[in-house]
Amino acid sequence: MDIQSVLQLVINGILGGGVYALAALGLALIFGVSGVLNLAHGEFLMLCGFVTFLGYDRLGINPFLLVFLIPPVFFALGYGFERILIRPLALRKEHVRLASATLVTLGAALIFEDVASFASAGTEFDKSIGYFIGSLTVGSVVLPSLKLIIFGLVLLLMAQLAWFLKYTYVGLAVQAVTQNARGAQLSGVNTATINGVAFGLGTFLAAAAGALEVIHSSVSPLVGLPLTLKYLCIIVMGGLGSFAGVALGGLIIGLSESIVGYFTPAWGQTVAYLLLVGVLLVRPKGLLGR
Amino acid sequence: MTDSLSRAPLKPAAARGAPLISVRGISKRFAGLRALNGIDFDVAQGSITSIIGPNGAGKTTLFNVIAGDEPPTSGTVMFDERPLIGLAPNEICRLGVSRTYQSVRPFFGLSVRNNVLVALLYGRRAVPARGELDERMAGILEFVHLAGKAERRAEQLTPLDRKRLELARALATEPRLLLLDELIAGLTPTETGEMMDTVRAINASGVTILLIEHVMKAVMGLSHTVIVLHHGEKIAEGEPQAIARDQAVIRAYLGDAATAVIPADT
Amino acid sequence: MNRSPRRTPPVAALRRALATWLAAFALVAGAGAVRAQDTPSEIRIGATVSLSGPYQGIVGPFGKLASAWAERVNAKGGIFLKQYNKTLPVKLVMYDDKSEPTTALSFYERLATVDKVDLFIGPFSSGMNNAAMQAALTHQIPYFIPEGNDAVLFDTPNPWRATATAQADAEYQRLSELYARLKGVKTFAILARDNLHEIAAAQGFANRLKQSGYQIVYQDVAPKETKDFASIILKIKQANPDVVSVEGLAPPWTIQFLKQARELGLAPKDVVVSHMPVPVIRALGDASENVIAMLWSYEGDTPDHRELDELCKAAGIERWQYSEAGVRFVTYRWIEEALKRAGTLEHEAVRKAMFEADFTLYGGDRVRINEKGYGSLMTYPMQVRQGRLVSLWPLEHGLAAHAFKDGRW
Amino acid sequence: MRLRAFLLPGAVLLFVLGLPLVPFDARVYVMQELTLLFLYAGLAQSYDLVGGTLGYINLGHIVFFGLGAYTVGILFNVGVPLAAGLLAAIAVAAAFAAVVSIPFFRLRGAYFSLATFALVKLMEQIANNLRGLTGGSSGLKILAENRVVPTYYAMFGLLIVAVVTTLAINRSRLGLGMKSIREDEAVARDFGVPTMRIKAQALMISSAFPAVLGGLFVWYINFINPAEVFGLKMALQPVAMAMLGGSGLAIGPLLGSTFLYGLEEFIWTRFEHLHGAMLGLIVVLVGLFMPGGLARLRPVERLLERLGLKEDDQ
């Protein structure tokens, strides 16, 4: 296997891992702060994919413009989601709270999925934007421009998030709660608000990923749960409470899928989950988990 | 009750006997900060020893190390000539070390009876026979004044009763060493007196007691030996009266009072 | 129950509980007990449709399609059955099977016993049919399979089921014939989505190509979950085939493959996609030009074509968007033929007629059922021109009309 | 236990056992509906040993179902009789449980749920890839003709065993240990509870039931594929049912599965669209307003008390 093929695989892997990491980061944020396993996370991705598609298909707006227009709305959506469905559970005993949250988010996921399916009955069930930019080629290595742009956007969003977490009060509060909720509360952080913000941000990231997803591949009403699951893998692998870990996890899964997939497509998809179990065996706290 | 407070501490039954537990060079670091730094001390068989010190001195961390909840960074703990470090908490419990928690942690969802039953069934070397079990249960609940409340859920208990329950649960494991973490803090004078009597009674029954306490009356009234921790170091050890006069100790407390913040060892 | 007076003796509570059970029990029993009279007043046809679950995107609107067909038949007064010497209207009873075999099975039981249907139209996919078929066997009710042509359905004896379509591995026969006579292609790459039907169909395609002396330079199966095809595409590029064929029932899968193939500069002479081409066309835009698709009907101007189009219009769908509509159309036609032939609703007679049915479609394609239960319907090759689908069939017309994609995306 | 406690269960028992003997047209349909109900109830009940009593929300419970289904299916096709196959299924599931409990039970709370959820997908894909053994996505067909009545009885019997096991465990030393872990794992360890061992035991016990159910399922439906027996929705069903009914109570999963299954049946036969949404809404409402589940609602509690079926979960 020649060096250029290897190079191609690595590039594909990295580009693929980017979008994974983005949405996974959102889920990690929510999970880290609220300790809630949000089974509806992928649904927001799906939903935003839909809206983006409609914006492009019906109104003919440039999809990349939509990437900037629509996801911010989902911040509000996520915040409201937490406000209405998650906050009421806050006072319950730990395992009861976890159970209730699982139920609530699961139910929400079912609703989103079914309504989306219903809405797309008769029209195209699977939304995908026919948008294309010619690729660059270096030697025999192809650099898919669209994915490069998307990867760029992913990096941009991640940088913004990092900045937000490091230099804003709310961001620091988010981190504090992630590290030690009780401690943060005692030192005067309003954890309720922070939970809301975390859900808003997380949902925003999922939405962004959804918009990008519908541009470079496609989104159907049923992608929610499976995607959520993949993101869960990534954050468990990367390590709870470690946002760098999530990025790393996304990258690893992207690369492993690309490289293993070359030799055997079947196991290319499985490797992500195998890696997860492997990581849990040697490092129960995840690669960069504390 | 008040007179029980002023009563002079009883001499340790076997104070001169071999130490039941001896702590050597225990250090514990959390990411950077040193919670404990080279702590050494012995607790004599059958004695009551108090550990005092300002918040953040590392008292609870020390308990956690002894109980096996947190591995120390270095150092050893010998319990009755047996090394404890490296043993799991449940093993240590079965060797005869039991504890209560600074902020009470009963099994809130379980009945008082089941709280104690867990300790009775799992906390001791041998699973006791049915008949003996009920007898023990009744005895313990009687002893801590919870006899009437066996079927209540722990979450329905008053703060005092929760402390009693913690004590009952600890006793059920038939400990030889009992670690009491601020058992008395937050009680009314009457309750305090009563609780002190209970502790004395436990000790009289041959259980060695190591306790963390802020309430000075209790410390002075109960202990044969007092150990003072400050910023993870042992700064003094001795008879209660001696400690009360110790300059280092006084400085530690006053100096600390100025910079008091939220307890780090919660 | 909780509003009952205080301190009710347990026995009373129990009696109430028992009563509830018995009531439910009696209800079902009663529903079952309603006997169909000797001369039926209608033809009761039972079916489930995947109104939810993974198959919704493929067959979701076919509930409406079936109703549209029933209306058209009933508008003509129904179907004449000579045993009763009158034309009976068609009555459809349908449920949503959630795309789940277990649900399908229990609904077909319900259709047989509660709704007392005279014949079944099967659900979508071999998996669901395989489960649901058992109801047909238990209750000896003729079972018309619309989509489900994989060996798994036919290797166990069950005289009550048959399909109008040919076995899965014959699905590409017409395209194979086309390529057999087409100049300028030698090597093929065939990728199938990891699923019972796709694998069989792709394998059949490969075999037929080999028979006509062509070379399969790449053949593999990729999981349903695959979203990133870059590695597979790289491998196909290295094999450098003239034709790339993607066999996947689910559009997103095919869409993602094609988008990425374009992105990564995979430029074969021809690109073949199976099933559901419309979403693919939309997703690719202009790049879909000259993509070859396999559909269950083709563009033409026979009465059958017109009727099919009217059915689809009545159901509010576009024919090309739900390619399987073609199969449904044939199945309805087949049912009419079988009933006329049988001239009765008596199950055994209808079953016989189901196998003996023999009719032609689109002015030329003969549909017959062989003794195993397979039919003779196959997919028709079509090609995209300016976002529309044009037929590459009949064969001669196809050879003339075919244009190579030649890597133009 | 008081005699009256046996009245309602007795009545149900009579009804279920008698049903196949009563001749009426919809008999088979009703039996098939009940068979599926028993299946779900059995899954929910066995799930709740870990989810309710131990307090670890195991979203991967269905993995054992799939393992059982494939073990029995594969063995059946090489001529191993069903009974032997079922025993093998139990062995396989228990062994698997023992193995995964080592890495997975080092995780707490949602972290655990999350990992077990991923396990479902892993198993699906492995089953897909081991074509030679499982038939991959083409599915596994077994050549037993459909046996409605035996499956009906077998699944009902298994459900009863599951309920009895739950009751027994809730009263046992092991059960108390499990509850203490649910309430506060660290404290439980401090008081001598060997948490790792107990968690492993709990998982192994709860894994036996789905394994057998899976075996019966393949025998009943004759054709399985990975997407179905390792399905995500399928995985979440028992969890939702147990919580809906009342996690931690033996009666809970029974109530939950009966209610949810009945509701589903009702919705699916009455409405043409948006079933999923309706179901989802119910699930949401339960999560929001009934943390204790049906069984802990006042009126239900009172009724249970009157029927002598009230259990204490303290």
- Reported ipTM: the value is 0.85
C184 and C289 share one domain: yes
pLDDT in tens, A19-69: 888 889 899 889 888 888 899 999 999 999 999 999 998 898 999 899 989
C-alpha distances out from residue A8 to A260, C267, D90, Å? 13, 17, 46
Does C110 sit within 8 Å of D139, measured CB to CB? no
Interface contact B261, partner A, CB < 8 A = no
Sign of the torsion angle spanned by Cα atoms A275, A281, A287, A289: positive
Reading the block at residue B164, the tokens are 């009693």
The partner residue sitting opposite C265, judged by closest CB among A137, A146, A219, is A137
How many distinct structural domains can be found in chain D?
Answer: 1
Q: For residue D222, name the pLDDT band (cuts at 50, 70, 90).
A: confident
- Please tell me the distance from the alpha carbon of residue B245 to that of residue A108, in angstroms, as a whole number: 65
C126 and C227 share one domain: no
pLDDT in tens, C11-70: 555 556 556 656 655 555 555 444 444 688 999 999 999 988 888 888 888 999 999 999
Longest pairwise C-alpha distance within chain C: 90
Q: What is the mean pLDDT of residues C272-280?
A: 82
Q: In 3D, which of A116, A115, C100 has the Cα closest to residue D278?
A: A115
Q: What pLDDT, on the 0 to 100 scale, is given for residue C333?
A: 95
What is the residue-averaged pLDDT of chain A?
88
Sort out which chain D residues have CB atoms less than 8 A from C112's CB and list them: 29
Identify the CATH class of B1-96+178-266. alpha beta
Q: For residue D75, name the pLDDT band (cuts at 50, 70, 90).
A: very high
In a domain, D311, yes or no: no
C146 and C185 share one domain: no
Q: What is the mean pLDDT of residues A109-136?
A: 84
Q: What is the mean pLDDT of residues D119-128?
A: 93
Reading the block at residue B56, the tokens are 């953040």
Chain B interface test: which of A95, A96, A186, A189 (most B C-beta within 10 Å): A186
Q: What pLDDT, on the 0 to 100 scale, is given for residue D59?
A: 92
- Going from N- to C-terminal start, the domains of chain B cover 1-96+178-266, 107-174
CA nearest to B107 within chain A: A93
In a domain, D219, yes or no: yes
CATH code for the domain in which residue D178 is found = 1.10.3470
C155 and C207 share one domain: no
In a domain, C225, yes or no: yes
Q: What pLDDT, on the 0 to 100 scale, is given for residue D2?
A: 64
Q: What pLDDT, on the 0 to 100 scale, is given for residue C146?
A: 94
- Going from N- to C-terminal start, the domains of chain A cover 15-222
- Phi/psi of residue D133, each to 5°? -85, -45
Sort out which chain A residues have CB atoms less than 8 A from D55's CB and list them: 95
Q: For residue C250, name the pLDDT band (cuts at 50, 70, 90).
A: confident
Q: What is the mean pLDDT of residues D13-36?
A: 86
Sign of the torsion angle spanned by Cα atoms A265, A267, A272, A273: positive
Chain C contact residues (CB < 8 Å to A): 52, 54, 56-58, 60-61, 194, 220-223, 225-228, 230-232, 234-235, 238, 250-252, 255-256, 259-260, 262-265, 278-279, 282-287, 316-317, 321, 409
Q: What pLDDT, on the 0 to 100 scale, is given for residue A236?
A: 83
CA nearest to B108 within chain A: A93
pLDDT in tens, B202-219: 999 999 999 999 888 888
The partner residue sitting opposite D287, judged by closest CB among A31, A100, A277, is A100
Does D111 sit within 8 Å of A115, measured CB to CB? no
Q: What pLDDT, on the 0 to 100 scale, is given for residue C7?
A: 44
CATH code for the domain in which residue C276 is found = 3.40.50.2300
Does A259 sit within 8 Å of C285, measured CB to CB? no
- DSSP string covering B219-242, please? HHHH-SEEEEEETTEEEEEE-HHH
Sign of the torsion angle spanned by Cα atoms A179, A182, A188, A191: positive
Beta-strand pair C90-96/C187-193: unpaired
Reading the block at residue B202, the tokens are 């436990």
Q: For residue B260, name the pLDDT band (cuts at 50, 70, 90).
A: very low
Give D285's strand partners. none
Q: For residue B258, name the pLDDT band (cuts at 50, 70, 90).
A: very low
pLDDT in tens, A126-136: 888 878 888 88
User: Domain residues for C75?
Assistant: 43-165+301-368
At A284 the three-state DSSP class reads coil
Size of interface C-D (CB pairs under 8 A): 129
- Please tell me the distance from the alpha carbon of residue A76 to that of residue B161, in angstroms, as a whole number: 46
Does A186 sit within 8 Å of B262, measured CB to CB? yes
Does A182 sit within 8 Å of B109, measured CB to CB? no
Q: What pLDDT, on the 0 to 100 scale, is given for residue C33?
A: 46
Q: In 3D, which of B42, B46, B37 has the Cα closest to residue B10?
A: B46
- CB C40 within 8 Å of CB C34: no
Interface contact D265, partner B, CB < 8 A = no
- DSSP string covering B68-80, please? TSS--SEEEEEET
Q: For residue D173, name the pLDDT band (cuts at 50, 70, 90).
A: very high
At B49 the three-state DSSP class reads strand
How many distinct structural domains can be found in chain C?
Answer: 2
- CB A109 within 8 Å of CB D312: no
CA nearest to C193 within chain D: D137
Sort out which chain C residues have CB atoms less than 8 A from D298's CB and list them: 2
The 8-class DSSP code of residue D49 comes to: I
Which residues of C, range 155-184, sit inside 8 Å of D by Cβ?
155-156
D72 contact partners, CB below 8 Å, separation of at least 6: D82, D85, D86, D88, D89, D214, D215, D216, D218, D219
pLDDT at A189 over 60: yes
The partner residue sitting opposite C10, judged by closest CB among D7, D12, D143, is D7
Q: Pick the residue with more confidence: B256 or B27? A: B27
Q: What pLDDT, on the 0 to 100 scale, is given for residue B6?
A: 34
C251 and C397 share one domain: yes
Reading the block at residue A128, the tokens are 């995908």
C220 and C181 share one domain: yes
Q: What pLDDT, on the 0 to 100 scale, is given for residue B262?
A: 34
The 8-class DSSP code of residue A39 comes to: T
The partner residue sitting opposite D114, judged by closest CB among A37, A269, A277, is A37
C158 and C289 share one domain: no
Does D240 sit within 8 Å of A106, measured CB to CB? yes
- Please tell me the distance from the alpha carbon of residue B55 to that of residue B78, in angstroms, as a whole number: 26
C151 and C230 share one domain: no
Q: What pLDDT, on the 0 to 100 scale, is given for residue C269?
A: 95
Q: For residue B9, name the pLDDT band (cuts at 50, 70, 90).
A: very low
- Please tell me the distance from the alpha carbon of residue B180 to that of residue B60, in angstroms, as a whole number: 10
- CB B156 within 8 Å of CB B111: no
CA nearest to B109 within chain A: A93
The 8-class DSSP code of residue C125 comes to: S
pLDDT at B2 over 50: no
The partner residue sitting opposite A187, judged by closest CB among B108, B109, B262, is B262
Reading the block at residue C81, the tokens are 């059955």
Q: What is the mean pLDDT of residues D274-299?
A: 88
C-alpha distances out from residue B38 to A249, B232, B243, D229, Å? 40, 8, 20, 57
pLDDT at B17 over 80: no
The 8-class DSSP code of residue B155 comes to: G
C-alpha distances out from residue B80 to A155, B39, B42, B43, Å? 59, 18, 11, 11
The partner residue sitting opposite D276, judged by closest CB among A88, A114, A267, is A114
Does D291 sit within 8 Å of A92, measured CB to CB? yes
- Please tell me the distance from the alpha carbon of residue D235 to that of residue D227, in angstroms, as a whole number: 11
Could you report how far apart the first and last alpha carbons of chain B are, in Å?
Answer: 31
Q: Pick the residue with more confidence: B8 or D299? A: D299
CA nearest to A186 within chain B: B262
pTM of the model as a whole: 0.88
In a domain, D182, yes or no: yes
Q: What is the mean pLDDT of residues C115-135?
A: 91
